[in-house]
Structure 1
Amino acid sequence: MLIDFTHFTPGLSLTGGLIIGLAAAGLVLFNGRIAGISGIFGGLLSLPRNDSGWRIAFVAGLVIAPVIAGLLGRPAIADIEANWGVVLVAGFLVGIGTRYASGCTSGHGVCGLSRGSLRSLVATLTFMAAGFMTVFVQRHLIGG
């Protein structure tokens, strides 16, 4: 295995993980809410809601944080090697998966595992296995 030490940033990764963990803990401790992106965003789509303020603030933070990081010299630019059709189909499939799994990787992986949820453990293992298989098929069977 080769490690790309130019892009290997364990300190930044650890810091980011700690910030995500603190944010998730703060949301559950002070708001009684789970920091699952699909649930938070999905709650905005089901109207009428009387709790849309914190949901809007949370989603706005997801959009604004990379902009601020870019202004501070750490641009968050993703290099996606796919056309828009593939991206849209993939997004649609992820949306279906989050509905079937009753949550996404942030809800199950960050919040569910920390609560000791067996359902979240199974969901997270399934997400990860599907990701591993997708990368393997793409790199070794399809070519890429």
Structure 2
Amino acid sequence: MIRATEVVAEAGAAEDSVTLDYDGRYRRRIALRSDKGCEFLLDLAQTTDLRDGQGLRLEDGRIIGVRAADEDLMIARAHDPHHLVRTAWHVGNRHLPCAIEADRLVLRWDHVIAEMLEGLGCVVERTRGPFVPEGGAYGMGRTHSHAH
């Protein structure tokens, strides 16, 4: 099986892609099938947060683009900027991945968290789309297994 051992910053004119959800984009080693059926082994030196738009270089030089899959999400809208900041604090206190936009927070759908957000006074809307949350506070990547 051909291997992908390098992540490139941009997929550019990749002829193929692999579409992965948020959890599927945090990988080191796994057998994958591209959107056009190419089977390959992702074989990176360390676990990597693959970002939408990056590419995976195969041993033969071809690039497979990384695409963020549509997922069940929720949008939380606050009354004003101060309310949004307070809500973001509560989300962060629960160590939840979250995309922070100027007027809303985007999280993966969870009925318990939706109820919490509504209890905090937010309007919560269920939707679907690619989930691309903020990266870790100490550089690129996710914040799993960090020390307090």
Smaller-chain TM-score bracket: under 0.3
Decide which structure has greater helix share: 1
Could you tell me the TM-score, scaled by structure 2's length?
0.24
Could you tell me the TM-score, scaled by structure 1's length?
0.24
